[in-house]
């Protein structure tokens, strides 16, 4: 699914009006009807306070409020500014004059803001996605009042005061804190940044029939990965396939006292379909792998405690390196040697190997083109320095990926997979229970397996993030968020992959 900049959304709206063709006020009516149909049962019997601004977002709010009134709901429609309305908003304002039940409160003409009761629902339609500056004056004060209420807040399309992409310089006090946001046709980029969760709440996409041809033609750097895309990426297994058809992978992970990461990554790699897996391990730790993952082969390091060497690379199609290997000088030398000898094999780099890259940045030039890097926020900060907000973080990631020709997997909610060409793919699966020790090691094993099966780096990263999150969602249904462990994610990898391929 494409995620468009707000300027492009306005262009798609205009194109729809011209080429469907449909009157803009009727497109507004269609959007309001879609919203009304979504909320009428969820909030049955509840009182509504509808906040309607002067622009078209206010028109959406007034039209939805009218539908609620006609359906028998108790509704107060609040207009902070009743003059200078957009034409379509004015049309919807005029339609209220024919409803005796309509209670319209014009604040700029002496009306008083109604008091919410405990069951009240606030419908926020003050400002839409076209906002380009922080709120001020009466609108800022109104947002502060609404945020002080102990009320459920529904935002129409986007919480008022929040901007669609970057919110650098915005005033957090001037942004509605919604419980739930119903966004039209596609999400806004800012919904996918952790700093904005407090404003957006849970969000849901409402299709409103914007012009498919225009959406297909328009370009954007941002996408939300969908199940059908992942299904197309994953290979089918021919009847006469054998293990050699699905890659022989090399995993370099673990150190003395830190073998859990190696075990988790190895198990995840095999559960995702790797044909063969060899794990490079310190001498005194190989028994752990033999006992925990008997399906994996072991290459034994001369060192008893850490990664200092690797086997001949000829048999391997893909290599994964980093989980719990440590950052000692011997590890750094071995990692550098690995990069010198990796050739054109697929490579995924995680954890301690990323920390080594951050401290020894000359090694970045040795990374093969389309190496997959999977940093968590702390590791990415070591690589590129700090950022001002999450949009700035994304900009830094795009620049880093383009400069070093690597695929970045920025782990977290809505994990972002970034291609060297600047395309950013956000992952919709996963849950907070996956914020647990070893979860990242599982993701490394999944991506390594997909690379070994011959899947291109960008596709392997996108599919890997999706599968990882979906397995976590399935595990969460059984275990709950607090009890979820990395081993639970592995346990559901097979079911996740099967559900995608159905």
Our measurement of the distance from residue 247's CA atom to the centroid of its chain's CA atoms, rounded to an integer in Å, reads 29
Dmax (CA) of the chain: 86
Q: What is the pTM of this model?
A: 0.96
Find all residues with CB under 8 Å of 237, minimum gap 6, and list them: 246
pLDDT at 408 over 90: yes
Q: Kindly indicate whether the domain formed by 2-220 is annotated with CATH number 3.30.2310.20.
A: no
pLDDT at 312: 98
Tokens of 279: 């794990």
| Torsion sign, CA atoms 191, 169, 49, 46 | positive
CATH superfamily for 227-501 is Ribokinase (3.40.1190.20)
| Torsion sign, CA atoms 94, 97, 99, 105 | positive
* Residues 77-133 pLDDT 10s: 999 988 899 999 999 999 999 899 999 999 999 999 999 998 999 999 999 998 999
Q: What is the mean pLDDT of the chain?
A: 97
* Residues 170-226 pLDDT 10s: 999 999 999 999 999 999 999 999 999 999 999 999 999 999 999 999 999 999 999
CA distance 191 to 182: 11
Residue 291: other Cβ atoms inside 10 A: 9
- Counting Cα atoms < 13 Å in the Cβ hemisphere of 133 gives 3
pLDDT at 187: 97
Alpha helical stretches, state H, 77-172:
87-95, 137-148
**pLDDT class of 343 with cuts at 50, 70, 90:** very high
CA distance 203 to 220: 21
pLDDT at 244 over 90: yes
Domain coordinates of the chain in residue numbers? 2-220, 227-501
pLDDT at 321: 98
CA distance 208 to 29: 10
* Residues 264-323 pLDDT 10s: 999 999 999 999 999 999 999 999 999 999 999 999 999 999 999 999 999 999 999 999
Residue among 366, 428, 495 at smallest CA distance from 204: 428
CA distance 14 to 383: 42
pLDDT at 82: 85
């Amino acid at each position: 699914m494409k995620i468009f900049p707000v300027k492009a959304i306005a262009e798609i709206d205009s194109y729809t009006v011209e080429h469907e063709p449909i009157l803009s006020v009727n497109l507004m009516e269609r959007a309001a009807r879609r919203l009304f149909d979504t909320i009428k049962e969820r909030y049955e019997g509840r009182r509504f306070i509808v906040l309607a601004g002067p622009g078209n977002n206010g028109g959406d709010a007034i039209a939805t409020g009218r539908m609620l009134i006609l359906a028998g709901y108790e509704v107060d429609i609040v207009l902070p500014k009743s003059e200078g309305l957009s034409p379509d908003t004015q049309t919807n304002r005029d339609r209220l004059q024919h409803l005796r039940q309509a209670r319209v409160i014009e604040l700029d003409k002496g009306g008083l803001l109604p008091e919410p009761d405990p069951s009240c629902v606030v419908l926020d339609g003050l400002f839409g996605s076209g906002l380009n500056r922080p709120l001020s004056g009466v609108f800022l004060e109104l947002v502060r009042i609404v945020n002080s209420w102990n009320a459920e807040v529904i935002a129409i399309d986007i919480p008022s005061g929040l901007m669609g992409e970057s919110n650098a310089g915005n005033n957090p006090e001037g942004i509605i804190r919604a419980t739930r946001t119903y966004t039209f046709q596609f999400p806004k980029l800012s919904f996918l940044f952790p700093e904005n969760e407090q404003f957006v709440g849970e969000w849901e996409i409402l299709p409103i029939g914007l012009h498919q041809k225009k959406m297909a033609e328009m370009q954007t750097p941002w996408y939300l990965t969908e199940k059908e895309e992942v299904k197309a990426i994953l290979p089918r297994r021919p009847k006469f396939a054998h293990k050699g058809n699905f890659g022989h992978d090399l995993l370099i992970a673990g150190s003395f006292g830190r073998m859990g990461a190696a075990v988790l990554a190895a198990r995840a790699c095999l559960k995702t379909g790797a044909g063969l897996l060899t794990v490079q391990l310190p001498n005194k730790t190989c028994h752990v792998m033999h006992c925990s993952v008997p399906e994996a082969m072991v290459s034994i390091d001369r060192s008893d405690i850490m990664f200092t060497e690797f086997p001949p690379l000829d048999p391997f199609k893909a290599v994964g390196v980093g989980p719990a290997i440590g950052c000692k000088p011997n590890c750094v030398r071995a990692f550098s040697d690995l990069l010198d000898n990796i050739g054109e094999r697929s490579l995924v780099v995680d954890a301690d190997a990323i920390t080594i890259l951050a401290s020894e940045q000359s090694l970045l030039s040795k990374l093969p083109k389309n190496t997959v890097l999977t940093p968590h926020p702390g590791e990415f900060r070591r690589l590129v320095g700090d950022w001002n907000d999450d949009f700035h973080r994304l900009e830094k990631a795009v620049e880093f990926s383009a400069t070093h020709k690597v695929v970045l997997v920025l782990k977290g909610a809505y994990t972002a997979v970034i291609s060297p060409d600047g395309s950013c793919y956000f992952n919709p699966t996963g849950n907070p229970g996956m914020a647990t020790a070893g979860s990242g090691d599982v993701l490394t094993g999944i991506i390594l397996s997909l690379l070994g099966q011959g899947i291109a780096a960008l596709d392997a990263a996108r599919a890997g993030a999706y599968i990882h999150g979906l397995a976590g969602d399935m595990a969460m249904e059984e275990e709950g968020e607090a009890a979820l462990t990395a081993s639970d994610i592995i346990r559901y990898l097979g079911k996740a992959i099967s559900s995608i391929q159905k």
